[in-house]
Every structure is written in structure tokens, then in C-alpha cells.
Amino acid sequence: MKEAIIHAGPKVEIIDTPTPSPKSGQVVIKVAVSGSNPKDWKVPEWMPDVPPLNQGDDIAGTIHEVGEGVTEFRKGDRVAAFHEMMTPGGSYAEYAVAWAHTTFFLPEKTSFEEGAAIPLAALTAAVGLYASDRLNLPQPWSPATSPIPLVVYGASSAVGSYVLQFAQRSNIHPLVCVAGRAQEHVEKLIDRSKGDTIIDYRKGDEAVVQGIKDALKKEKLEYAFDAVSEKNSYQNIAGALDAQTGKITLVLPPPGGDWTGKFPGVAETVGQSTTNVGSVHKDLKDLGYVYCRYITRGLEEGWFKAQPQEIVPGGLGGVQTALEKLKDGTASAVKYVFRIGETEGAGK
């Protein structure tokens, strides 16, 4: 089969490799569409000692083979899945491997392109919002009964957009959304009647901090989900966050790369955490399992929607172009996805 290996640069190398086989508890998926994420170009640059590998983690396609102990899925099922990061069998290939607990059904009305835009980012949102050692906010099936202000920094990003959708189900309001040129996208995901609002980060750091304070209308801010985690984002949040009871979670480690490190410019008394979605393949397997199935329900019922997609032509041949755009900041409120069947030599 054809598989794309990601090198620093980013530079993409397409190779021929054997079709993978599932371990116990895994499925092999014939990939119709693969999604991309910023980590796909970042990891080869940030971790130069790690041998280059297939960095794709967002899979959409049909079940090809199931491993021992897998009872939920059958050959031919339409699914999406979150591949375990930094392991063989990624989504930049004709066939990919996923654990059954981070695989979920796609309704017939949900396209493979939509499916490929969901797994990693949506599970990141779920972990950051609901894990007991992150923000630990009310679950959607036990929604809040009184106002809970939440700042979502980077609200138009895929992670931010899924944070907003889950937060709506949890009745978390007001949602104070920090975004830039993609505010129209954010507007579709919030409820102005419940105090939700949008702050334009392009007006500068001081305006962002003041905008958050104004949006709170003297309410205490205790929760913030930073889906940017750079360019003064968490320092700006800290300017409005309650220093004694506040909690903030980041999607990137603070400077120095230590996922357990403290955040510069944030009070030591603030609850600080980083949200590494890889935890759904480690200590948060149950959370990953539950939210994967909840996403299927949301897609069926229509309250959960995929981040808008842009199909990059050429299948795996388009991966380098997309990763370059992710690196230079071209992407805005969009997921770059690839139809694997368009790859030159695929299927042979």
C-alpha cells in the first residue's frame, strides 16, 4: 500500500509498505479520507530524535479487519477513528490502525470528509472540558443549572469549535470566544441570548483582556480553554481569570516543552493543566470510549457538526501542501483533508 512519511520541513515521502494487521482490541480501516492536524508538521521539528513516521491520526473509511476481542464493529462498517499518536499505522496511508475504543460509527448522512475532520480535535475538546484533572466541567448529560462563564481562546479552530459545541450541550454560558478573521464561523456555534460573545484578538492584548472582563459583567471567571496556547494567549486569559479559584487548560506545553511545567504569566494559585489528547489511549480510555459514541449520536441528531473541510487534491500527494499551509498560518476555520484514493498508484 501507499503510505506518507512526514519529515521535518515539512517534507513528505510516499513509500510502499505492507498493509497492517490489527492487534487484539484494534481495527484496520480502509482509509477513504484522512484529516490533518498542526502536530503533523510540528512533531518532526520539535522531536528531531524520533525517526520520521506517518503522522496522520484522523481516519475516516470502512472497517477492513477487526482484531481479537472486537465485538462492536464488522467489516464494511462506515467509521471514523483517532489513531494512537506516534505509533505505526497512521491515517496517511491506504489502510490505518485504530483502537476500537477510539473508533466510532459514521451515520450515512455524514461524509467521510466530515468524519476525517473530527477525531483528534473533538477528543481534545472533550478531555480538556471534562477530565477531572483538567477543567472538570458538567457533562452534557448532567448540564449546568446556573451560569458558568468559560473563555475559549482560539474559538474558530477545530478544537475551539468542538469545545463550543460540547459546552452548549453542557449548558455552559456565557461563552467568551476569542477569535480573528473567522468570527462568522464562531457566530454559528454560540447563543447570544445567553450572553455568549466574540472578542477579536487582532485588536491587541490589552483590548482582549478588557474585552473578556467586559463580557463577564463582573461575574467571576473560573474556567478557560486555551486552544491556541501561544502568542500571549494564556497571559491574556490570566489577566481576567480568578487567581484563587481559576482553572486554565492549554493544548500545547509551555515554553521548554514540559507538559507538567507552569505557565509564565499565570498565577501559581491558578489550576494549570495541559490537555494532551493522547491520554484517551492511556489513563482516559473510558472518557475516549464514551465521547466517541456520543459524537456519533450528535452527528445523528444534528447538534454536532464537523469543522468545515477543504479537500486538498492528489490524495497523499497533497499532504505536504496542506502541512505547509498549517505551518505558515494560512488555515482559518478549516480542516485540510485528503481523499486517499486520489493518491498516484493507490489500489495497486
Give pLDDT tens digits for 14-64.
999 999 999 999 999 999 999 999 999 999 999 999 999 999 999 999 999
**How does 57-96 read in b/e, with b if 16+ C-beta sit within 10 Å?**
bbbbbbbbbbbeebeebeeebbbbbbbbbeeebbbbbbbb
pLDDT band at 330 (very low <50, low <70, confident <90, very high): confident
The pairs formed by 228-233 with CB atoms below 8 angstroms and a separation of 24 or more are 228/153, 228/154, 228/157, 228/178, 232/205, 233/153, 233/154, 233/178
How high is the pLDDT of residue 315?
A: 98
Contact 276, 302 (CB under 8 A): no
Average pLDDT over residues 3-12: 98
Peptide bond before 48: cis, by omega within 30 degrees of 0?
no
How high is the pLDDT of residue 331?
A: 83
Q: Which of 102, 32, 64 is nearest to 293 (CA)?
A: 102
Q: Which of 176, 177, 171, 181 is nearest to 138 (CA)?
A: 171
Percent share of the chain, pLDDT over 70: 98
What are φ and ψ of residue 31, in 5° steps? -80, 120
Q: Collapsing DSSP states into helix, strand and coil, what is residue 105?
A: strand
Q: Which position has the grid cell 505505526?
A: 88
How high is the pLDDT of residue 172?
A: 98
The model's pLDDT over 205-242, given as tens digits with 9 standing for 90+, comes to 999 999 999 999 989 999 999 999 999 999 999 999 99
- Alpha-carbon distance of 28 to 347, in angstroms, equals 16
pTM to 2 decimal places: 0.97
Peptide bond before 149: cis, by omega within 30 degrees of 0?
no
Angle of CA points 194, 197, 199, to nearest 5°: 165
**Total count of residues recorded for the chain:** 348
Between 192-206, 263-277, 280-294, the lowest mean confidence (pLDDT) is in 263-277
pLDDT band at 254 (very low <50, low <70, confident <90, very high): confident
In order of 67, 126, 143, 145, 265, the CA distances from 277 in angstroms are 23, 9, 23, 28, 24
**How does 244-268 read in b/e, with b if 16+ C-beta sit within 10 Å?**
eebbbbbbbbbeeeeeeeebeebee
Largest CA distance in the chain: 63
- Determine the residue type at 53: L
The model's pLDDT over 95-135, given as tens digits with 9 standing for 90+, comes to 999 999 999 999 999 999 999 999 999 999 999 999 999 99
How high is the pLDDT of residue 256?
A: 62
Rg, C-alpha atoms of the chain: 20
Q: Collapsing DSSP states into helix, strand and coil, what is residue 277?
A: helix
How high is the pLDDT of residue 258?
A: 65
As a whole number, the mean pLDDT across the chain is 96
- Alpha-carbon distance of 175 to 342, in angstroms, equals 40
How high is the pLDDT of residue 259?
A: 67
